Structure 1
Amino acid sequence: MIEASCDLTDFREVADEARRFLAMPRSRLQSQTLGAQRQPAAARGSPDAARRLFAMSQPIAGTLAERYIAGRGILLSTRERALRFHPACYYRDLVTGETRTLPALIAAVSGLDGRITGLQRTWLDPAGNGKAHLVDPRRSLGHLLGNGIWLGLQPGTPVPVMAAGEGFETMASLRTVMPALPVAAATSANHLAGLIFPPGCTRLYIAADADAAGRHGIERLSRRAGEAGILALVLQPRLGDFNDDLRHLGPAPLAAWLSDQLVPEDARLFRPSG
C-alpha cells in the first residue's frame, strides 16, 4: 500500500518508507517483510490496491470523516457501506515528490455487482476544519470508468429509478433529502458519461454541474441513456451545486426544490413525508 500511495517502484524505497513511518529498526522490519513478500504485491493504482486500502480503513462512526460529512450537512444511513476512514493515508506531492500522512475519507468505487474496483480519497484537516489544505485534496485510483460511488444500490436488484452525478458530496446531498433514491457519484465528468446503467433502469436523474466539462458529461450520458431506452432528466441546483443548496438553504427547501423537478410518481415515492 505504501508503494501504491507513494508512487514508489523499488522495494528498498518502500521498505525505507515503512521503516520511517513505523519507527522500526531495519532488522525487525526485514524479519516481518520476509513473510509479506510471499504474497504478490498489488500493482500501483490497481483495483487490488484500492481494495487493500479500503480493507485497511475503518468505519466512519466517531471519526474525522463522519465529522467532515456532517459539517457538509450530509446525513447518511449507517447501512451505507461505501464510506470508510483512514487515520494516516499517504499523500504524495506531485510537484516535489514529498510524502506525508493525513487522515482521509475513503469512498469505494464499485461495479453493479458490488465489487470494489477503485476508490476516492479525500484528505482531511487533522484539526477537523474540512478538507486538508492541499492543492489537490481529493484523488481517485483503480478502475473508475463505468463504475461509481454507489449509495443505496443492492447488487443484482433492478433499479428502475436512480440519480447520477460527478461528485460524492453532490450525490450524498440528494441521498440525504431523498434516502430511498439510489445514487451514484462517478468522480468526474468523463466517468459520468460512461456510467454503466443498472438492470431495469427506466428513469435517470442527472445532477447538473455548472462547468463545461460537467455539461459535456451530462450530454453524453443523456444520449447513452436515450439509446438504451432510459428517460434522462437533468436536476438543476438553485446555487452552485446541491451541497451548497443543502448547507445554505436547508434540507426541506432542497427536497421541495427537487420534488418540483421529479416525475410526479417519483416525487411521491422518494420525498419523505413531512
Structure 2
Amino acid sequence: MTGSASELARRLGEHAEEVCREYLSNGHRSGNHWIVGDVRNTRGRSMHVRLKANAKGPAGKWVDEASSEFGDLLDVIRESCGLVEFRDVADEARRFLAMPRPQWSTSNAQRQPAAIRGSPDAARRLFVMSQPIAGTLADRYLASRGILLSARERALRFHPGCYYRNLVTGETQTLPALIAAVTSLDGRITGLQRTWLDPAGSGKAQLGDPRRSLGNLLGNGIWLGLEPGAPIPVMAAGEGFETMASLRTVMPALPVAAATSANHLAGLTFPPGCRRLYIAADADAAGRHGIERLSRRAGEVGILSMVLRPQLGDFNDDLLHLGPAHLAAWLSDQLLPEDARLFLPPG
C-alpha cells in the first residue's frame, strides 16, 4: 500500500463507524465491531469491522470469517461502490472525509455488489446511490429550464457528489449531478445519463462536456411516463433529455423517450402496440439522419411517424423563452386532431 493509501486508511479508521454506516448500511454495531454479511454490503453476520483501535490492531481493519477475506476501509469503499481503479477509491475516500457527517437512519439506500466501470450494473448502482430529486439542486435546475415534471417520474434522481473525470488531464472532481436512468421497455435500467451541475445553482457545471452517458444505450431510452407492460399506442421520441422533458411538461399524459444521441435515436425500440410516433426534430445533420432512420424503421413495422418541429433552436428554447401556452398552441397544429385533444390542455 502506498503512503497516500496508508494515510487515507488511517484517516478513515478515525471515523470507522461513520464509514460503516455509509458504505455497509446493511450491518449494525455490536460492541467494538460493525457486523455485516460481507464487504459488498450483503445482509448477514460473517464480516467484522473493528471500530476502535485495541491490542489486536488499528481501527478499520476487518475480516470475513466465511470467505477469509480481510482488509481495511479503503477495500470497503472499493467493493461497496463497485470501483475498479485506486484513484477512484482514493477520490471517494477523500470525498467522504470532507463531507459533513449525516444523520444516520436505517433508510440509507442498499448498495449493490461491485460493478465494472461503464456497465449496466455500474449504472444501476449509481442510480440506487442517488436520491429523489424533489427539493434538490437537480429539481431547481430543471425548474430554471422551465421543465416541471410529476413527482412520480421514476427515471430521475440526484447525486450530490458524482465523479467527473477530465478525459484530457485525467483529473477527477466530484460535482452534483442530475441522474437520468436509461431503461428498456420492461423498466430495467440499462444505463444512465449524468448532467453535472454548478454547485452554486447557475445551471450546468462549467465543464467541456457536462453531460455524459454510460451503460447499454442502443434500443433503450430515458423514458418519462413509461409504465412497464402497459400499452403505448402513441408516444414521442427525440435525442435530448431536455427536449423531451419540455414536451412532457406541456403534454404530461404523453409517454416520451430521450435516446441520448442521434445514432441511438435511430435504433430506439418501439413498444408493442405503438401506432403513432412523434419525433422531435433536432437542427443538426446528425439529428436529421437519426430522424430519417427512425421514421423508416417505424414505417417498416406499420407505425405512422410524424416530425415535430420547434420554433426556436429546440423545444426547451420554445418552452423557456415563449412559454408553455405558446408551445402548446404551436404543437396543436402539428399533432393529429385526436392526439391534440387527448394530450394538450384545453384552450
1:58-85, Cα deviation, whole Å (9 max, x unpaired)? 0111110000000000010111111000
Residue correspondence of structure 1 range 166-177 to structure 2 within 5 A: 166-177=239-250
Equivalent residue in structure 2 for 1:243, among 302, 311, 316: 316
Residue correspondence of structure 1 range 21-170 to structure 2 within 5 A: 21-23=95-97, 41-170=114-243
Q: Aligned-pair distance for 1:22?
A: 2.4
Equivalent residue in structure 2 for 1:16, among 72, 90, 114: 90
Q: Aligned-pair distance for 1:171?
A: 0.3
Give the equivalent residue in structure 2 for 1:253: 326
What number of residue pairs does the alignment pair up? 258
TM-score, L = length of structure 2:
0.71
Q: Which has the higher helix share?
A: 1
Which of structure 1's runs of 4+ aligned residues deviate more than 6 A?
Answer: none
For the residues of structure 1 that align with 2:88 and 2:240, how far apart are their CA atoms?
Answer: 32
1:192-223, Cα deviation, whole Å (9 max, x unpaired)? 00000001000000000000000000000000
Give the equivalent residue in structure 2 for 1:33: none
Structure 1 residues not aligned, in runs of 5+:
25-38
What code does the residue aligned with 2:298 have?
A
Kept in 1, the 8 Å contact 2:133–2:157? The answer is yes
Kept in 2, the 8 Å contact 1:157–1:199? The answer is no
Q: Aligned-pair distance for 1:272?
A: 1.2
For the residues of structure 2 that align with 1:152 and 1:40, how far apart are their CA atoms?
Answer: 29
SS at structure 1 position matched to 2:205: coil
For the residues of structure 2 that align with 1:97 and 1:55, how far apart are their CA atoms?
Answer: 26
Give the equivalent residue in structure 2 for 1:224: 297
Give the equivalent residue in structure 2 for 1:30: none
What code does the residue aligned with 1:264 have?
P
What code does the residue aligned with 1:21 have?
R
TM-score, L = length of structure 1:
0.90
**Is 1:263 paired with 2:336?**
yes
For the residues of structure 1 that align with 2:122 and 2:83, how far apart are their CA atoms?
Answer: 13
Kept in 1, the 8 Å contact 2:115–2:121? The answer is yes
What code does the residue aligned with 1:78 have?
A
Structure 2 residues not aligned, in runs of 5+:
1-22, 24-76, 99-111
* Greater RCO (CA < 8 Å, at least 6 residues apart): 1
